[in-house]
Amino acid sequence: MGQGVLLRYRQYLPVTERTPLISMGEGETPLVRSSHLEGELGCGELYFKLEGCNPTGSFKDRGMVVAVAKALEEGSRAIMCASTGNTSASAAAYGARTGLDTVVLVPQGDVAQGKLAQAIAYGARIIAVRGTFDRALVLARELTARHDITLVNSVNPYRIQGQKTAAFEVVDVLGDAPDYLCIPVGNAGNITAYWMGFCEYFENGHAGRRPRMMGFQAEGAAPIVRGEVVKAPSTVASAIRIGNPASWQGAIRARDESGGIILAVSDEEILQAYTALARREGIFCEPASAASVAGLIKLASQGEPLKGKRVVCVITGTGLKDPELAARRLQQPFQESSGDLEEVEKLLGLEYVGKPT
């Protein structure tokens, strides 16, 4: 337990004798069975892969640990990424741990507070770019091509290699691939990575089949669904506010080779799934993560035959990343108390059982 993805899956990863097997205990995240939605949606079995349980609270750590290990192996001194927040948190953490200088380019005013707090805490250099994530990624590509800095966005192939281990874990736990894998799509690295993982496990006999890959973009940031770049992407799910995904082709391949789909879900559908996950399943995730469940709910409502099917929804990041949204969306009025026991009993409608002793 807690050995990290490099050690656990080294035979499937680009690990050489010179690769430092660094780890912060990434991976081995829980695959939790649904308590309510499974029955309501009529799925055979529904599971949530809780990637928010990774060291920095999102799935990014799986790929970052591999990218940073390879950067160290290659003698790099500095890393850089563009990010809607989670990649920057992860890069900053692994950079701090291994003594690499870390620079993160984030779209100004567009990153959830918890993620910014992480980059600040880990001591990364933060450049707030006036513009979208897509612009920040163009800058990061240019800067790393011109200078001796390693790019650790998912265009770095080691990131995808590390992230594919989540698919391995799903198969390792379930004994085979599920029928459906539901996943949010932003820059499209993760859907590409899961598909790679499922294909590799299928090819070497660890799995008897491969899942249908069901990707979900936010309606206002759905370039793959629409088939064209979105210049001014907009959605409440800031992590997937992306108009020109780097792994666009990888997502199309995952969809087409698996017989899957990539669909758009509205912000309202995302927020309903976000609330339902918290209130009915006890799973507090960030809004982008809820897109996978919003998509599944949408498929069920459109009559997708889910009966008897095994479904896994990837919950990509923890809800603590975006406390402001939680306060806005999930807030309930507080009741105030002076600290008096009987007063609190009264507020809660509890029966009077006599004076406190």
List interacting residues with ligand F0G (CB under 6 A): 58, 60, 83-87, 154, 184-190, 239-240, 286, 288-289, 316-317
Nearer Cβ to ligand F0G, position 34 or 163?
163
Give Cα 307 to chain centroid, integer Å: 27
Residue closest to 1 by CA, chosen among 30, 28, 33: 28
**Distance between CA atoms of 264 and 249, rounded to whole angstroms?**
17
Nearer Cβ to ligand F0G, position 19 or 217?
217
Quote the least distance from Cβ 29 to ligand F0G, whole Å. Answer: 13
**Distance between CA atoms of 15 and 11, rounded to whole angstroms?**
7
Nearer Cβ to ligand F0G, position 19 or 165?
165
Nearer Cβ to ligand F0G, position 178 or 233?
233
Crossing angle, helix 60-73 and helix 86-98, to 10 degrees?
A: 40
Crossing angle, helix 165-174 and helix 189-203, to 10 degrees?
A: 50
Nearer Cβ to ligand F0G, position 4 or 250?
250
Quote the least distance from Cβ 17 to ligand F0G, whole Å. Answer: 30
Give Cα 81 to chain centroid, integer Å: 16
Nearer Cβ to ligand F0G, position 19 or 168?
168
Quote the least distance from Cβ 119 to ligand F0G, whole Å. Answer: 11
By CB atoms closer than 10 A (0-12, 13-18, 19+), residue 30 is middle
Nearer Cβ to ligand F0G, position 264 or 288?
288
Quote the least distance from Cβ 105 to ligand F0G, whole Å. Answer: 10
Beta bridge partners of 31: 49
Quote the least distance from Cβ 205 to ligand F0G, whole Å. Answer: 27
Nearer Cβ to ligand F0G, position 66 or 309?
66
For the sheet with 180-184, list strands across it.
31-33, 45-50, 310-315, 180-184, 212-218, 261-265
Return the sign of the alpha-carbon dihedral for residues 39, 251, 55, 323. negative
Quote the least distance from Cβ 255 to ligand F0G, whole Å. Answer: 13
Quote the least distance from Cβ 340 to ligand F0G, whole Å. Answer: 43
**Distance between CA atoms of 243 and 12, rounded to whole angstroms?**
32
CA-CA-CA-CA dihedral for 102, 103, 105, 106, to nearest 10? 50
Quote the least distance from Cβ 128 to ligand F0G, whole Å. Answer: 14
The residue to which tokens 């990041």 are assigned: 317
